[in-house]
Amino acid sequence: MRKIIRLAGVVSGLLALAMAACSSDDGMSSGTGKLSVVLKDAPGDIKAAVVTISEINLQGSGGKLVLSSNQVTTDLLTLSTDVASLVQDATVPAGDYTELRFVITGAYIEVDNGNGTSSFYASDPNYAGLPPGTTVTGNLQMPSMGQSGLKVILPGNKLTIASGDQKLLVVDFDVSQSFGQLAGGSGQWVMHPVIKADDVSVTGGARVAVTLDAGVTLPGTSVLSEFSVTLTGSDGIPRTVLLDDSDGDGTFEAVYDFLDPGDYDVTMQAPAGVTTFTTTPALPGTLTVQSGQTATATFTITSAT
């Protein structure tokens, strides 16, 4: 089973597009949905495979739709057990899309020479993603990837976004098969990506809000941001998030994305300074996640000792 881990901070300031829906005669229907894209890698023997992604876009009957134009440099080998969140909740006009493209404007690979040393092959000897002081051994060719972009064929050759959808698209980049040394040229490597997109799933989200009842104070130096909320679905996997008041409105929240539709048990954990606490409604609680929607549950702490 693929394990999806959202890595905070991999992409900051993602472009959320609010585009007018196209008319039905160009293959687009009214309304919008949400699309998130994550990148995963199958493990390989290369010691490092760093790429700079400058744009991610979808191709459909209405032309090119840019999901993100934020430049991201990442080592694909670090994704062999984790997943990098590249696009989060981009607003996409409802309709059919046939290709996902990554515009890759730079890259390098580190190759194990088998004697305790490494050689570096880069798209440019001055590529900004290289470690400081690196001596580049040779060239890494990336045919057309900085112009038209790396094309990713979508599952079934089509991604359909319906109004209200919230979809997650997982892209597998197989490092072990995606780089090769050119015959007769020890100083030349070429990037010929083996990449596929699958696991398109319609997901939902959840928001658990927690407040203190009037007159209730937490003991000692304890604060609400030290409490955590755990959601557990039918898969038995606990998903724990610390409470946070990011907008400063006094309501602390635990927010969850990419949840499979279904029922979740809700529990709350107090910090070490709190021995017992009660809530209204009582815990444990339940929360039902539906496709393309964010389920909300609100709890008030009525006592704490």
Q: Domain boundary at 202, 219, 237, which?
A: 202
- Do residue 146 and residue 235 come from a single domain? no
Confidence at residue 45, expressed as pLDDT on a 0 to 100 scale: 59
- Do residue 131 and residue 240 come from a single domain? no
- Do residue 122 and residue 258 come from a single domain? no
Domain containing 165: what range?
24-202
Confidence at residue 84, expressed as pLDDT on a 0 to 100 scale: 67
- Do residue 177 and residue 278 come from a single domain? no
Whether residue 31 is predicted with pLDDT greater than 70 in this model: the reply is yes
- Do residue 77 and residue 112 come from a single domain? yes
Confidence at residue 202, expressed as pLDDT on a 0 to 100 scale: 62
- Do residue 198 and residue 209 come from a single domain? no
Task: Give the CATH number, domain containing residue 269.
Answer: 2.60.40.10
For residue 99, the SS3 value is strand
* 3 within a domain of the structure (yes/no): no
- Do residue 116 and residue 263 come from a single domain? no
Q: Domain boundary at 202, 229, 244, which?
A: 202
- The total of structural domains in the chain comes to 2
* 215 within a domain of the structure (yes/no): yes
- Do residue 102 and residue 45 come from a single domain? yes
Confidence at residue 46, expressed as pLDDT on a 0 to 100 scale: 79
Confidence at residue 186, expressed as pLDDT on a 0 to 100 scale: 61
For residue 233, the SS3 value is coil
- Do residue 216 and residue 179 come from a single domain? no
Whether residue 196 is predicted with pLDDT greater than 70 in this model: the reply is no
* 17 within a domain of the structure (yes/no): no
Highest mean pLDDT: which range of 10-19, 20-29, 146-155, 197-206: 146-155
Strand partners, 288: 263
* 262 within a domain of the structure (yes/no): yes
Of all residues in the chain, the percent with pLDDT exceeding 90 is 36
Q: Domain boundary at 139, 173, 202, which?
A: 202
Whether residue 300 is predicted with pLDDT greater than 90 in this model: the reply is yes
- Do residue 192 and residue 216 come from a single domain? no
Q: Which residue has the tokens 């997943």?
A: 83
The whole-angstrom separation of Cα 259 and Cα 205 is 6
- Of 10 and 254, more confident: 254
Residue 41: C-alpha distances to residues 4, 50, 58, 77, 171 (Å)? 12, 12, 21, 7, 8
Whether residue 183 is predicted with pLDDT greater than 80 in this model: the reply is no
- Do residue 28 and residue 166 come from a single domain? yes
* pLDDT band for position 16 (cuts 50, 70, 90): very low
* 280 within a domain of the structure (yes/no): yes
- Do residue 179 and residue 209 come from a single domain? no
* 6 within a domain of the structure (yes/no): no
| Side-by-side strand order, sheet with 252-259 | 252-259, 204-212, 294-304, 277-280
pLDDT tens digits along 97-116:
888 888 999 999 998 887 88
Whether residue 18 is predicted with pLDDT greater than 50 in this model: the reply is no
Confidence at residue 272, expressed as pLDDT on a 0 to 100 scale: 93
Whether residue 44 is predicted with pLDDT greater than 60 in this model: the reply is no
* 260 within a domain of the structure (yes/no): yes
